[in-house]
Amino acid sequence: MLNINKLYVKINKKIIIKNLNLKIKKNNIHILMGPNGSGKSTLSYVITGKPKYKIINGKIIFNKKKINNLLPNKISKLGIFLTFQYPIEINGITMYSFLKNLIKKKKNKLKIIKKNLKKLKINKEYLKRYFNVGFSGGEKKKNEILQMLILKPKFIILDEIDSGLDIDTLNLIFKIIKEYLFLNKNSSLLIITHNTNIINYINASFIHILYNGKIILTSNKIKKTINYINKYGYNNIKNIKLL
Amino acid sequence: MNKKIKKIKKNNYKYGFYTNIKSKTFPLGINKKIIKKISKIKSEPKWIKNLRLKAFKYWKKLKYPNWSNLNYKKINFNFISYFSKIINNKKKNNKKIINTVKKLNLPINNKKKKVAIDFIFDSISLKTTYKNILNKKGIIFCSFNEALKKHSNLVKKYIGTVVPYKDNFYSCLNTSVFSDGSFCYIPKGVKCPIELSSYFRINNNLIGQFERTLIIVDEGGYLSYLEGCTAPIRVNNQIHAAVVELIALKNSTIKYSTIQNWYSGNNKGIGGIYNFVTKRGVCYDNAKITWLQIEKGSALTWKYPSCILKGYKSIGNFKSISFTKNFQQIDTGTKMIHLGKKSKSTIISKSICLDNSINTYRGLVKINRKSKKSKNFTQCDALLIGNKCISNTLPYIIVENSNSIVEHESVISKIEDEQIFYCNQRGINKEKALTIIINGFSMDIIKDLPLEFFLEAKDLFKIDFKNSVG
């Protein structure tokens, strides 16, 4: 599904991703971990085509299509979805009038939106509120998942969806994500997180460690890797290869 | 016509068409003879002719104003025709006008949208609707010309009391040559049941449009008034210099909304209307005037809808969105003159600035020595898109007593790339994303628009941003 090959990325004259390779197949869940500033969010921005992140070498292939130079809205239309770590606010625009734009061609917009609101246990009064304005951290994250459900993407990147969430919201969000993957068998997931508890919420098939803009470890021994990180942190990360 | 031009017209300015219609147009130039001719063709009372001549005499002595933030070639007032009237009584003409009305999407003879409209085409009011229904309530709504004949005393009593001809260069010019306009009187205690409106259309390519609006709302009355305007796409600049006077007597309320959508010139800065307007209202005890404006068109705008808060506890509001693109220049704002005790004013100005345009807010808040315990709140927000536009905020504040409160807030922001990227990530393209953000920015004011007659709100800021953002 997603194939990143020998990727180099530059922002403001600084190279922040160096020779990165990543392969994610259909119907797979991958976890991406790494210390602060290792390039995790950068990678998610590069995949989704954020301007100013310049690819100087390498390829990103999504479903056999090279997406390196596509506009971000075109990449979104291919079915790539990113939940933002810090979702933006738009004053003056209601939730409903924003969400409508996501399913322009569908006839029963309100019905689709309301159905998904219910799943997330969001009061439908929220549709009248301005987009993310005055929302709590948890409400903003729920709004991200709401848009995921509405857009029905094929490849989902969760960028620290779990930061700052209470236990009930966390449970609810992962329950919904698992259900989504169950119903959309071809979809895949990349989870970017700092939370080593993640394995209690979802079963992944691979874990990657990003360090200094490079993936230094890819393993299917999720538990073992995470235990190692819990014990030694990222400082002795080079030895992790011995696992 | 070249296909490309057709396309541009279609995309950017729906109202840029020209109605090919026979009309009687005065020769170019301004002089005593022309003014007498205007007066004669309208067979108006003698006192108004004298007023015109008096104003003209004064105007000739006035210096050409150049204090504003506008750059343009000096206007030659002898290259303008001051009167143009379509030739009546021809079936063909009628059809053309009906077609024009349709194209402009005006609610004449529209039973669903109940709004009375005074349609001014070049120098003359062509039609005023719902007159009879309004008459039953004692409301007078007619063209200025008709008012001069039928309600001469009312006009005489109030004309020039809020905007005297000596007020400024353009009000003086307007007083000399004005051709028509709208007149409205709401009697004591009457709440006008429908929206009233004026629609100004410039059609002829040589004329300047000079119209006057005079609105009087008697004690305890209420009126919501809407004004719209458009003009054909042309390479030459045409001038529009109007005067609007509002009189809000004791306990009355006037809400005056404008959607100014004159042709704004092309993306090289060629063509467009020069819009020099003097709008002012006076509020007596407990009266309230709200100016609401969407300034979207014109190559140049010079406009300061103001309130003289004469009465005790009188209220003045000014809410404005000015939207400039290409080489448009807008110098707009308001004057709030507090004379009465405990008077209150609120100013909310939002400007959105694209391309090479210049967008200036210029406002005066003056609290008189006797206007004790008065209050003003001013908020000026500007949103800049791209790197070449200029936005200015020029507040003038004069407070002559010690127990009044004046607050001023001013924020200038650039559209954040993060917001656009977020929308992009949801599959929304850049243009649409900008439209969403701009609409959000303007929502405070758009939501107060009475009804969307002349322009659907969703079309307001639907523009081609391709040139604006790299």
Spell out which chain A residues touch chain B, with contact meaning CB-CB distance below 8 angstroms: 48-52, 71-73, 76-77, 81-82, 84, 87-88, 90-93, 98, 101-102, 130-131, 147, 151
Task: Give the residue on B whose Cα is nearest the Cα of A84.
Answer: B422
Give pLDDT, residue B202: 92
Q: What is the pLDDT of residues B244-300, one digit of tens each?
A: 999 999 999 999 999 898 999 988 889 999 999 999 999 999 999 999 999 988 999
Chain B residues whose CB is inside 8 A of the A144 CB are none
DSSP B171-228: HHHHHHH--EEEEEEE-TTPBPSSEEEEEEE--SSSB-B-EEEEEEE-TT-EEEEEEE
Give pLDDT, residue B13: 82
Residue B308 parent element (H or E): strand B306-309
> A88, B442: Cβ pair inside 8 Å?
no
Residue A18 parent element (H or E): strand A14-24
CA-nearest of B390, B359, B385 to B463 is: B385
- Indicate if the pLDDT at residue B197 is higher than 80: yes
Query: In a mutagenesis test of the B interface, which of A85, A90, A140, A144 is the best target, namely the one with the most B β-carbons within 10 Å?
Result: A90
Task: Give the residue on B whose Cα is nearest the Cα of A50.
Answer: B421
Say if CB B201 and CB B170 are below 8 A apart.
Answer: no
% of chain B at pLDDT higher than 70: 91
> A72, B424: Cβ pair inside 8 Å?
yes
Say if CB A83 and CB A158 are below 8 A apart.
Answer: yes
ipTM of this predicted structure: 0.96
Please state, in angstroms and rounded to a whole number, the distance separating the CA atoms of residues B89 and B258. 32
Give pLDDT, residue B49: 96
> A72, B421: Cβ pair inside 8 Å?
yes
Q: What is the pLDDT of residues B379-418, one digit of tens each?
A: 999 998 878 899 999 999 999 999 999 999 988 887 778 8
> B422, A48: Cβ pair inside 8 Å?
no
Please state, in angstroms and rounded to a whole number, the distance separating the CA atoms of residues B354 and B317. 27
Please state, in angstroms and rounded to a whole number, the distance separating the CA atoms of residues B445 and B201. 25
Of B425, B432, B437, the CB nearest to A90: B437
Exposure string over A77-98, b if 16+ CB within 10 A, otherwise e: eebbbbbbbebbbbebbbbbbb
> B441, A91: Cβ pair inside 8 Å?
yes
Contact residues for B404 (Cβ-Cβ < 8 A; gap 6+): B338, B367, B371, B372, B373, B374, B375, B376
A191-A196-A198 Cα angle (round to 5):
50
Exposure of A183 by Cβ count < 10 A (0-12 exposed, 13-18 middle, 19+ buried)?
Answer: exposed
Residues 393-432 of chain B whose Cβ lies under 8 A from any Cβ of chain A:
416-419, 421-430, 432
Say if CB A203 and CB A29 are below 8 A apart.
Answer: yes
Give pLDDT, residue B92: 74
> B424, A76: Cβ pair inside 8 Å?
yes
Contact residues for B308 (Cβ-Cβ < 8 A; gap 6+): B162, B280, B281, B282, B283, B337, B339
B461 touches chain A (CB under 8 A): no
Q: Going by DSSP bridges, is the β-strand pair A155-159/A80-83 parallel, antiparallel, or unpaired?
A: parallel
**pLDDT < 50 stretches in chain A:** none
Please state, in angstroms and rounded to a whole number, the distance separating the CA atoms of residues B163 and B245. 7
B352: closest CA of chain A, how far (Å): 15
Chain A residues whose CB is inside 8 A of the B422 CB are 84, 87-88
What would the two tokens of residue B76 be?
């030659």
- Indicate if the pLDDT at residue B456 is higher than 70: no
Of B416, B419, B429, the CB nearest to A73: B429
B436: closest CA of chain A, how far (Å): 7
Report the SS3 class of residue B162: coil
A80: closest CA of chain B, how far (Å): 8
- Indicate if the pLDDT at residue B75 is higher than 70: yes
B115: closest CA of chain A, how far (Å): 28
Of A72, A92, A98, the CB nearest to B441: A92
Q: Which one-letter DSSP state was computed for residue B403?
A: S
Please state, in angstroms and rounded to a whole number, the distance separating the CA atoms of residues B419 and B430. 10
B470 touches chain A (CB under 8 A): no
Task: Give the residue on A whose Cα is nearest the Cα of B415.
Answer: A90
Give pLDDT, residue B466: 46
Give pLDDT, residue B455: 52
CA distance to B326, B362, B384, B417, B469, per residue, from B465 (Å): 10, 27, 13, 15, 6
Query: In a mutagenesis test of the B interface, which of A44, A89, A101, A145 is the best target, namely the one with the most B β-carbons within 10 Å?
Result: A101
Q: Which one-letter DSSP state was computed for residue B81?
A: B
B192: closest CA of chain A, how far (Å): 31
A175: closest CA of chain B, how far (Å): 23
Phi-psi region of B222 (alpha: psi -120 to 50; beta: other; left: phi over 0): beta
Strand residue runs (E) in B19-114 = 23-25, 84-86
Chain B residues whose CB is inside 8 A of the A77 CB are 427
Instruction: Band the pLDDT of B305: cuts 50, 70, 90.
Output: very high
Please state, in angstroms and rounded to a whole number, the distance separating the CA atoms of residues B405 and B412. 24
